[in-house]
Amino acid sequence: MLKKILFVPFLLSCVMTFAQSTQSAKIDSLLNSLYHKEMFNGNVLVAKGGKVIYRGSHGRANETTGERLNPETVFELASVSKAFTAMGIVLLQKKQKLAYDDLMSKYIPELAYYGEVTIKQLLQHTSGLPDYMDLFIENWDKSQFVTNEIIVSEFVKYKPSVLFHPGDRFEYSNTGYALLALIIERVAEESFSEFLTKNIFDPLHMNHTFVYRSHYAPRALKNYAVGYFTDSLDRKIASNSLAKDHYYYYLDGVVGDGMVNSTLDDLLKWDRALYTDQLVNSADKELIFQSGVTATGENTDYGFGWELGKSKKYGRMIYHSGGWAGYTTYIGRQIDHDMTVIVLQNNSSTLTYTPKNEIRKILYDEPLREAGLKPVKLTDDQMLQYVGTYFEPKLPLNINFFKKGDLLMIQADGQHALPLDAYDGQTFRYDPANIQLTFNLTTGTIAYTQGKANLQFTKKK
């Protein structure tokens, strides 16, 4: 009798392990496919209940040296950093060093000109303050670095107008988070980096997480991912080779809206800590993960450094994405089901794609593509049948199909080329934009669908 009782949980454990192994294999296959199409270059970690079910790397950390990514590689987090800035403010509030309803001008009196902007409005992007980047791109001496203090002095100098009265609406603001970092420094009387390290990174044993400005204060780092982005001519550029007049370079002195660097494992530690009272208590977390509300009563779906969402199937979603200097990042937390998805990429191009939705489908055993579509592998001769230029009389552009390696590519006039997935029935898809094309080689036409759009293109002779 005892053996039967023990056998059931053992069998359930085996079933769960097999299911997670299958999910891991599907995630790896998805990422391999995206990497092959130059749509992905980075690290991914997926966890259920804190248990890692996938942790992998695809691509290079440094294209010059050929160094490959590995799961311990460090990435710049871009705007995913904002959650740490917000937590810094919460920790100071808990120490009664400040209050959320305090006016910004209490700590940055130079900006009293902007009236009754509160710390909470800075946290929730309802301050109405304009983006500092535009001001510096237009007016700044590009041979000099910008810092948080300089943002204040330049706002005093130029007094750029507010976008709206504080609290009236939501407008995502890097300026707000740069000012929050400065408030942390002035209140704590130490650098933003020192404060986060002492109060967040060290207590959580996030030993590979730190504030780092690669141009403003460079230092030798091991196992570090170089960021790569494409310019207007689609040329790939390494962020560590920028000219000084590029805004990625001269804005590198600013912290708070970005500049936290981390790894997959450290971000999982951060995720797990947010389920506990290790840093803050339940009342604090209720505020952090609560939507802001505008003066008209509209929910902003943004809390303190986190975007918020909810669906019937997936439950509450706490997440943030980031993009800066070639880094494309994402952390998603499905807190009702305790699932975590972390994506860190060091490429930002027209093709770069964050497959968070596909990973979520895999976790919920949902199909990744339309029912009935069966992937096929085409020979070179078969693929060449689809090569050519097509037009639609009502549209002022052509779409061109060409072969690149073992992929069929689509490129509309004046736009970037996109890789297509091949299916049976002479059908191709580009899922990130929900594009489906079904060829009729006999008539030389294509049935093109994208969302609600249905068009027919004809091959040029």
3 has a pLDDT exceeding 50: no
- The domain total for the chain is 2
Residue 230 falls inside a structural domain = yes
Same domain, 81 and 156: yes
Q: Which residues are catalytic?
A: 79
The answer to whether position 11 is within a domain reads: no
Task: Tell me the two tokens of residue 166.
Answer: 């504080």
Q: Is the predicted pLDDT of residue 18 greater than 80, yes or no? A: no
Q: Rounded distance, CA 449 to CA 461, Å?
A: 23
Task: Judge if 314 and 453 occupy the same domain.
Answer: no
Within a domain: 32: no
Q: Which residue has the tokens 């297509």?
A: 420
Q: Which domain holds residue 417?
A: 380-459
- Closest C-alpha among 120, 137, 112, 169 to residue 304: 120
**8 Å CB contact between 342 and 268:** yes
Question: Do 384 and 359 lie in a common domain?
Answer: no
Asked, for residue 192, whether it belongs to a domain, the answer is: yes
Are 352 and 295 found together in one domain? yes
Q: Does 20 fall in a domain?
A: no
Q: Do 253 and 140 sit in the same domain of this protein?
A: yes
How much of the chain, in percent, has pLDDT values that exceed 70? 95
Q: What dihedral angle (degrees, nearest 10) is formed by the CA atoms of 178, 179, 184, 189?
A: 110
**CATH number of the CATH domain containing 410:** 2.40.128.50
Q: What pLDDT, on the 0 to 100 scale, is given for residue 441?
A: 92
Q: How confident is the model at residue 431 (pLDDT cuts 50, 70, 90)?
A: confident
Instruction: Say what the pLDDT of residue 370 is.
Output: 63
Residue-wise pLDDT tens digits, 38-84? 999 999 999 999 999 999 999 999 999 999 999 999 999 999 999 99
Mean pLDDT of 296-319: 96
> Which pLDDT belongs to residue 373?
77
Question: 285 and 181 in one domain?
Answer: yes
Cα distance between residue 129 and residue 106, in whole Å: 16
- Round the average pLDDT of the chain to a whole number and report it: 93
> For strand 418-423 and strand 427-430, is the pairing parallel, antiparallel, or unpaired?
antiparallel
Q: Does residue 68 lie within any of the structural domains? A: no
> How confident is the model at residue 2, as a pLDDT?
41
Per-residue pLDDT tens over the stretch 204-261: 999 999 999 999 999 999 999 999 999 878 889 999 999 999 999 999 999 999 999 9
Same domain, 293 and 342: yes
Which element (helix H / strand E) includes 60? strand 60-62
My answer on whether 88 and 221 are in the same domain is yes
Q: What's the mean pLDDT in 387-394?
A: 92
Same domain for 195 and 343, yes or no, is: yes
Last residue of a domain, one of 331, 363, 395: 363
In SS3 terms, 250-297 reads as HCCECCCCCCEEECHHHHHHHHHHCCCCCCCCHHHHHHHCCCCECCCC
Q: Which residues of 288-302 are buried (b: 16+ CB within 10 A; e: fewer)?
A: bbebbeeeeeeebeb
**pLDDT for position 84:** 98
Q: How far is CA 146 from CA 137, 142, 245, 347, 397, in A?
A: 11, 9, 12, 24, 42
Instruction: Give the CATH number, domain containing residue 255.
Output: 3.40.710.10
pLDDT at 332 over 60: yes
Last residue of a domain, one of 338, 363, 388: 363
Nearest CA-CA partner of 330 in 28, 82, 36, 2: 82
1 vs 174, more confident: 174
Of 175-184, 191-200, 374-383, the one with minimum mean pLDDT is 374-383
Q: Is residue 12 part of a domain?
A: no
320, 388: one domain:
no
Note whether 358 and 400 are same-domain residues.
Answer: no
Whether residue 97 has pLDDT greater than 60 = yes
Q: What is the reported pLDDT for 293?
A: 97
Q: Residue 372's pLDDT is what?
A: 66
pLDDT at position 176 over 50: yes
Residue 359: phi, psi to the nearest 5? -60, -40
Domain boundary among 337, 363, 389: 363
State how far the Cα of 193 lies from the Cα of 355, in Å rounded to an integer.
31
**Residue 123 belongs to some domain of the structure:** yes
Identify whether residues 443 and 340 lie together within a single domain.
Answer: no
Can you give the pLDDT at residue 270?
98
